[in-house]
């Protein structure tokens, strides 16, 4: 897993926290990572669309979901920027959403490949 | 212990499900509030619920409000899962009827500890319900025989009379009295007398249908209400009851005792619209006629006959029972 940690600067899952959360159940870990892999791209796209369309309600809903998923997988930094997005969207600060989204995208950069490598290792 | 999880996020739902299964809960997981309400409204619903605060359509507090509207079912202990930190939100959540809340991402040990609190509350409720049911039973049943007590059996008879009148049916009221019961008590003592009463009650219950009513009317007197009874079969059914008592002797601490019962029978269809207490007097007169006829027999309350008997100089209780 060290390889994975090295390969991504921004994303970084807190692996020990995550393993504690699944009670060291590798099969469950795989399952959760697969759910994430399957659902994350759609949510991200929905968030981009909402921000582009100035739809604050939708942006709040999607960022709330993303925040929950990321927090459950112990990706603290990205969860915090999703939380910031949610807060701004709820406050109706549409003009700030674009910048916040850019920040979020930066934080989740490399997250999927990182998950992928955990998945590969966990399956061994 | 069964538990319902409602969370629209598949990842969080799976994590919760697995964590709780590991803690030996029997988990039902749904992905929205409507399904949660549906499941919690079923008669055998889980009594513990873990609800995500934010869900499309119906959110956690919305589910709480729906569930708390109902008064007819057992208590559901509800924990909301939230990532909200503001006090106003938490107050609003608790005021919607939630019992507790937990901040996501949850800590498994804390979750389990809070669920144990919920189980304690549910256990307490179960004990209260049980105590209430016991009190209700005691208030409506005769302690010795566990049959309906006098007040209840008279109410039931009154209700059945009204119903059979409305439906143009027939209710049969049977008043049975154990013959020479006083001598059982005098000869063998009250303990043996109680054993006889208990066994007679058991045999009465066995000889009626599940929807008929049997009550202890007085000391050794039993009132039996046969609902929807065909008038031409009432006497035969009373005979069956009589035989159920006299055919086999009753086992008591004083050995086997031969016990018999006299019965008065009244068909509501013979008497038109009369109040229950008046009909009770008539069936009592028919019982008296059965005693006069030598006991261990059945007599029907007819419009004319019982009146003659009722004019006997002394009350039945003194002379014949």
H helices within chain B, ranges in order?
10-22, 33-40, 60-69, 87-95, 108-140, 150-166, 181-188, 190-206, 234-246, 268-271, 276-292, 305-310, 316-319
Substitution target in A22, A68, A79 with the highest count of B β-carbons within 10 Å is A68
Q: Write out the DSSP string of B255-281.
A: EEE---EEEEEEEHHHH-S--HHHHHH
- Looking at the DSSP bridge assignments, the partners of residue B27 are B3
Q: Which residues of A touch B9 (CB under 8 A)?
A: 65, 68-69, 72
Least confident interval from A40-54, B95-109, B244-258: B95-109
| Residue range B233-254, pLDDT digits in tens | 999 999 999 999 999 999 999 9
Q: Are B234 and B268 in contact (CB under 8 A)?
A: no
Q: Does A23 touch chain B (CB under 8 A)?
A: yes
Q: Are B253 and B191 in contact (CB under 8 A)?
A: yes
Q: How confident is the model at residue B312 (pLDDT cuts 50, 70, 90)?
A: very low
The b-or-e profile of B252-289 (16+ CB within 10 A means b, else e) is: beeeebebebbbbbbbbbbbeeeebeebbebbbbbbbb
- Using CA atoms, how far apart are residues B270 and B288, in angstroms rounded to an integer? 19
Q: Which residue of A has its CA nearest to B9?
A: A65
Q: Does A32 touch chain B (CB under 8 A)?
A: yes
3-state secondary structure of A86: helix
Cβ of A21 within 8 Å of Cβ of B15? The answer is yes
Q: Does A40 touch chain B (CB under 8 A)?
A: no
- Using CA atoms, how far apart are residues B100 and B81, in angstroms rounded to an integer? 9
pLDDT value at A76 more than 80: yes
Q: How confident is the model at residue B305 (pLDDT cuts 50, 70, 90)?
A: very low
Is-catalytic flag, B304? no
Residue of B16, B215, B209, B248 whose CA lies nearest to B112? B16
Q: Does B140 touch chain A (CB under 8 A)?
A: no
Q: Which residue of A has its CA nearest to B82?
A: A68
Q: Are B288 and B312 in contact (CB under 8 A)?
A: yes
Helix axes B10-22, A56-72, angle to 10 degrees: 30
Q: Which residue did the predictor score with more confidence, B311 or A83? A: A83
pLDDT of residue B105: 86
- Using CA atoms, how far apart are residues B23 and B3, in angstroms rounded to an integer? 11
pTM of the model: 0.71
3-state SS record for B67-127: HHHCCCCCCCEEEEEECCCCHHHHHHHHHCCCCEEEECCCCHHHHHHHHHHHHHHHHHHHH
| Residue range B270-300, pLDDT digits in tens | 998 888 999 999 999 999 999 999 999 999 9
Looking at residues B178-193, what average pLDDT do you find?
A: 97
Lookup: tokens for B184: 């059982």
Q: Cα angle at B80 between A25 and A19, to 5 degrees?
A: 15
Helix axes B87-95, B60-69, angle to 10 degrees: 20
Cβ of A35 within 8 Å of Cβ of B11? The answer is yes
B255-257 and B26-30: which strand pairing?
Answer: unpaired
Q: Are B239 and B274 in contact (CB under 8 A)?
A: no
φ/ψ of B258, rounded to 5, equals -80, 120
Interface ipTM > 0.95: no
Query: Active-site residue among B17, B160, B199, B220?
Result: B220
Q: Which residue did the predictor score with more confidence, A110 or A102? A: A102
| Residue range B27-54, pLDDT digits in tens | 999 999 999 999 999 989 999 999 999 8
- Using CA atoms, how far apart are residues A75 and B183, in angstroms rounded to an integer? 88
Lookup: tokens for A26: 């590798």
Least confident interval from B74-88, B201-215, B303-317: B303-317
Looking at residues B191-220, what average pLDDT do you find?
A: 97
Comparing CB atoms, the residue among B9, B18, B105 nearest residue A65 is: B9
Comparing CB atoms, the residue among A23, A35, A71 nearest residue B14 is: A35
Q: Which residues of B touch A14 (CB under 8 A)?
A: none
pLDDT value at A91 more than 70: yes
Q: Which residues of B touch A39 (CB under 8 A)?
A: 10-11
Q: Which residues of B touch A36 (CB under 8 A)?
A: 11
Is the CA virtual torsion A5, A11, A12, A13 positive or negative?
A: negative
From the number of C-beta atoms within 10 Å of its C-beta (0-12, 13-18, 19+), residue B173 rates as: buried
- Looking at the DSSP bridge assignments, the partners of residue B54 are none
């Amino acid at each position: 897993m060290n390889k994975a940690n090295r390969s991504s600067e921004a994303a970084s899952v807190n692996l020990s926290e995550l393993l504690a959360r699944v009670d060291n159940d590798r099969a469950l870990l795989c399952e959760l990572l697969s759910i994430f892999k399957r659902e994350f791209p759609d949510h991200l796209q929905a968030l981009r669309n909402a921000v582009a369309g100035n739809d604050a309600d939708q942006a709040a809903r999607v960022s709330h979901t993303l925040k929950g998923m990321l927090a459950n997988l112990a990706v603290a930094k990205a969860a915090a920027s999703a939380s910031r997005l949610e807060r701004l969207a709820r406050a109706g600060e549409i003009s700030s959403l674009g910048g916040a989204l850019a920040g979020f995208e930066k934080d989740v950069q490399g997250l999927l490949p990182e998950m992928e490598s955990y998945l590969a290792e966990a399956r061994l | 212990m069964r538990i319902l999880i409602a969370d629209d996020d598949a990842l969080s739902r799976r994590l919760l499900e697995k964590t709780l299964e590991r803690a030996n809960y029997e988990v039902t997981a749904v992905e929205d509030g409507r399904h949660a309400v549906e499941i919690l409204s079923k008669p055998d619903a889980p009594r513990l619920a873990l609800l995500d605060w934010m869900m499309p359509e119906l959110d956690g507090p919305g589910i709480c409000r729906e569930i708390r509207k109902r008064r007819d079912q057992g208590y559901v202990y509800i924990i909301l899962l939230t990532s909200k930190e503001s006090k106003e939100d938490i107050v609003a959540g608790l005021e919607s009827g939630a019992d507790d809340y937990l901040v996501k991402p949850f800590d498994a040990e804390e979750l389990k500890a809070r669920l144990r609190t919920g189980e304690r509350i549910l256990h307490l409720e179960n004990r209260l319900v049980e105590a209430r049911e016991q009190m209700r039973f005691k208030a409506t049943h005769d302690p010795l025989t566990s049959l309906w007590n006098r007040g209840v059996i008279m109410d039931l008879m009154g209700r059945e009379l009204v119903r059979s009148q409305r439906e143009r049916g027939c209710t049969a009221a049977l008043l049975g009295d154990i013959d020479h019961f006083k001598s059982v008590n005098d000869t063998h003592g009250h303990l043996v007398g109680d054993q006889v009463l208990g066994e007679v009650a058991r045999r009465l219950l066995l000889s009626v249908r599940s929807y008929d009513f049997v009550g202890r009317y007085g000391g050794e007197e039993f009132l039996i209400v046969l609902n929807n009874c065909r008038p031409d079969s009432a006497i035969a059914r009373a005979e069956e009851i009589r035989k159920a008592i006299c055919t086999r002797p009753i086992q008591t601490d004083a050995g086997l005792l031969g016990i018999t019962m006299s019965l008065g029978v009244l068909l509501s269809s013979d008497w038109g619209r009369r109040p229950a207490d008046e009909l009770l007097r008539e069936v009592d007169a028919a019982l008296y006629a059965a005693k006069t006829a030598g006991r261990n027999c059945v007599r029907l309350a007819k419009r004319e006959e019982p009146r003659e008997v009722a004019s006997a100089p002394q009350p039945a209780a003194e002379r014949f029972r």
